[in-house]
Structure 1
Amino acid sequence: MSSAVEAGAPPGRTPLPRGAVSFIVAQSASNACSVMEMFTLSWLVLSADQLHLTPFSFALIVAGHFLPVVLLGPLYGRIARRIPPIRLWRWCLAGEATLTTVLGVSLLAGADPAFGVFVVYAVALGTMQALEVPSRQSMLMSFLQDAFARGYALFTSTSRALSALAPLLAGLLLANVDVGVVFVVNGVSFAAILLVVLRNVAPATAPRPDGSRQPGPRASIRAWRPLLLLAFALAAIGNQFPVTNILALDHLSHDGSVAFGVVSAALAVGMVAGPLIAQRAERFAAEATALVAVTFGVFEIAMGFFGPIVSYCLLAFGAGLALSSFMVLSVTTIKKQADPADQPGIMGWFGVATIGLVPAGTLLVGWLARYGDQATLMAPGGLCVVAGLSYLVHVRRQGAERPAVREGAST
């Protein structure tokens, strides 16, 4: 594996491996490009200047993108036992780069794809990302090793910052260039990550199952069920701010579009800052995961009182801070405590909880809106508080008997 960069490392900190900074920059930029592509896809499908399809049609495209995560996530552990995560990662990056670039070039050439083409594209891209995301996270656990918490926090913070700018960049591109350019740019970003991975992440860093100790996928996932349920509560149900913030505008301001931008910016800034703070709690990541989940729930409940917009923005900042801290701490907990052979399977389920089931959370929040706008914030916030306290009790009960290997296990 690539040697660590010793120069410039602060005393007491494990230095990042060579190539880690290149990966953080490339992957963060690619994540922002993917956000730009989704923004562009919605404009392409719904705009009267383009396909002018119904919102239901776009919902089918989005469902086609998320469905593979739900279907393949539970199977990922078995897949990774047969195909090394590093190989899956490379194959999926190559496929994403090819698929996205081909669609972009077709649009630039003047093609007018039918609605079914975009559904097939969404399903194909979603399938590759359902395998690529847990492969990436599994490999990063091994690649970053003892510097995982710091490296993953830097990556998450950088990615959040660039993704917050993505809709603005997409709008500027659509106003000045052909829509196909955005897809081509995203394809190039996938290719850039592939080059970084080929150059810096060696196959030898892939976690290998230990033949003498194989608890099996069911035993491992059952042990991690409390954390997965907590992740579902926060990421899929609690984090529905694109919906809840719009509903809150009627109570906050008469200038809806400006207020929505300000609130969204406050949330985004919190999400950028959270990972940088979370890395400092690496030594007690499991307990900190529960505490930030409770904190997130408290902030969301407080947002439901719809005070002045200034206080709402401060609470949104706090919620974003807690949410992104939770994501870093929960993955750090898996890295520190899970057997290396089980990490891919756990990350597959983690993707289901935090990505694949987001549409289910949107439907739930939409149903809660029938009982008032306050319910869309207070009910999910209350659920997060209860889930966080339950997980804290679970962690305290487990103690030294937690169903995971101790820190320092070989990767």
Structure 2
Amino acid sequence: MSSALFVALVLPLLAAVHYYVWRRTVRDTTTPGSWWRRGGTALIVVLGLLLVAAPPGERGLPVPLNAVVGWPGFVWMAGILYLTLALLAGEVLRLFLLRAERRRAANAGPGRPGDSAAGAEPATRTDSVSGTDSPEPAPAPAAVLPLSRRLFVGRTVALVSGAAATATVGYGAYTALGPPRIKHLTVPLARLDPAAHGFRIALISDIHLNVLVGRSRTRQLVDLLNDTGADLVALVGDLVEDADVADQGRAAEPLADLRAPHGAFYVTGNHEFYSGADQWVRFVRGLGLRTLRNERVALPGFDLAGVDDASGADVGEGPDYEAALGGRDRDRAVVLLAHQPVQVEEAARYGVDLQLSGHTHGGQLWPFTHLSRLANPSVAGLSRHGDTLLYVTRGTGFWGPPVRLGADPDITVVELASPRA
């Protein structure tokens, strides 16, 4: 996104959302001029600034300052999302409590606490027969809640919403930062040679090494991959999140310990091109991984191909399906490694049997788990597109907030099956 578009569209929206959150959690819960109101206002402003500063701070700030800004800024991305949703849902509770308090104030009666008309002189009227003045009941005014009751309503809604948002973000962070699930999937391929029946590919994607995720996470993932005992490891892009090798290379070094009989293979993702794909390709090769940049290799019973990510086209290094898939033996099954699910359209044109992808994170955060379906042919799992099967892993990392909700991270062991075995 260009800076002008960010300033014109995103910043006003962020400002409006922060104002709404401030209004419901600070203004409606504190008294004017109080220390709590001043402190709450300052906290909302600081969190908003950290949110805006966190993404560019990943590359623009020195270590460890980028982590100092990144942790609260990225966590607040998820925090304000779910706090806003909780407060919007809490508007129903707010209306219910306000109505109940107004009814309580109206029933308090004249002269009782909460009656805004208490102490007022009764209205009089002149009797048309006797000419004397006699009391006339005044119309009951609408009950106006005293400050204490308005604060009670505001604090109740803010407390319930804040607790719900905190629990949601906490659970999502526990899921995102915890170990990924190991999933197993058997995929029958009509053209697969019986010699490759039972061949297992350990599929991993979207590690997203960044200021929040480092070397220990990579070590954990490598141990999990090795424990699967797969015949081959496939890393389908987004190893890193917008960082140079000089900044995150050390975090990726445990990949050198990957062990599989047929090796470990790697294709680029969109974030490699945001960071400088060539430097990462060279670095990954130095760790012993085989990079597939628009090329294929012959394995026992099938071909394995890999293409660059579609975003590489912006710098003249996009996918070349003809180079990777053209001129091959059509009697052999071919498995394609391609970072983005949308690349299945070209894969189907070239008769690919199975495409393995990542990129979507499964949507990562509800409700984006549903909205991301609008931009992808599949968000997660196995689907068919013509004669081509597509499997999309949810990946193991995260982009932005270290939170996953409704999209648990996973490593998938894909077992190929031949109908002729």
Task: Give TM-score, length-normalised by structure 1.
Answer: 0.22
Query: Going by fraction, where is strand more abundant, 1 or 2?
Result: 2
Query: Going by fraction, where is helix more abundant, 1 or 2?
Result: 1
